[in-house]
Amino acid sequence: MPEDSPDPQSEPGPHNLFLGLGFSPRFQQAVRRVAQQLEPRFPGGRWHPPSNLHLTLRFFGRLSSRERAEVLERASRRAAEARPLILRLERVGFFGAPRRPRVLWLAPEGASEELVALSEALREAFPEVQERPFAPHVTLARFRSRLSQAQREACFPTLLELKRGRERGELPAWARFEAIEERAARLLLFESRPGEGGVQYVPVESLPLGPAASS
């Protein structure tokens, strides 16, 4: 097991796992401040607590302990060949349609060379995992598939304004924020765990990015 693992697990059984980047408390709180500015405009959203913020790079779903060990072996090799990177969140957007939003997120204006290279390396390492084209983002909130009519009507004009502003290249004032930057030096294996307040994304393994991973 790699050193400095945040929460080592040894129990057998399936685990709901994914690879991604985690963030420092400073970064989490900066993102949370942006989320707090947006919350009143999006009733019905389920907002992620700061501790759940992450950027997904490869999602696996439920894996056995044996499969988890194989994931770690492959990911460790790729992490050793990668480089630390700078993640810079600069824009707000959403997945879905203005009348049927699914996810509200923050994202880079353009992914860095290092982030793209890491994503591609993991894609090559896990060709059996089928995923959409890489669109790096940090989820702020998710929306239930059945928002109430009042919630849907409240969100629609805001999302439509955001969509049109993006198309024009000029976001509305409420959607602008100072860029949030973080240096990422580790690839994390997360486990999704159900809890009283909803699902928690818990780092269970930490893989240094760069040659230190293979020492």
The percent helix, strand, coil of the chain (3-state, each to 5) is: 35, 30, 35
Q: In what order do the strands lie in the sheet with 186-193?
A: 55-63, 15-21, 186-193, 200-208
Angle, helix 65-81 to helix 113-125, in steps of 10 degrees:
140
Strands (E), 48-146: 55-63, 85-89, 91-97, 100-107, 138-143
Looking at the chain, the whole-number percentage of residues with pLDDT higher than 90 is 80
DSSP 82: S
* 168 assigned to some structural domain: yes
* 214 assigned to some structural domain: no
Tokens of 112: 């860095």
Q: What confidence category does residue 30 fall into, taking pLDDT thresholds of 50, 70 and 90?
A: very high
* 3 assigned to some structural domain: no
Average pLDDT over residues 4-16: 55
User: Quick one: pLDDT at residue 212?
Assistant: 59
User: Quick one: pLDDT at residue 90?
Assistant: 95
* 8 assigned to some structural domain: no
Query: Does position 6 have pLDDT exceeding 70, yes or no?
Result: no
Q: Domain count for the chain, please give it.
A: 1
Query: Does position 3 have pLDDT exceeding 50, yes or no?
Result: no
* 2 assigned to some structural domain: no
Is the whole model's pTM more than 0.85, yes or no?
yes
* 62 assigned to some structural domain: yes
Tokens of 109: 């204006």
Q: What is the CATH number of the domain that holds 173?
A: 3.90.1140.10
* 10 assigned to some structural domain: no
Q: What is the pLDDT of residues 57-66, one digit of tens each?
A: 999 999 999 9
Closest by CA to 73, choosing from 9, 10, 1, is 1
Q: What is the pLDDT of residues 95-125, one digit of tens each?
A: 999 999 999 999 999 889 999 999 999 999 9
- 185 phi/psi in degrees, rounded to 5: -115, 5
Q: What confidence category does residue 8 fall into, taking pLDDT thresholds of 50, 70 and 90?
A: very low
Q: What is the pLDDT of residues 41-94, one digit of tens each?
A: 999 999 999 999 999 999 999 999 999 999 999 999 999 999 999 999 999 999
Which structural domain, as residue segments, surrounds residue 98?
16-208
* 176 assigned to some structural domain: yes
For residue 1, the SS3 value is coil
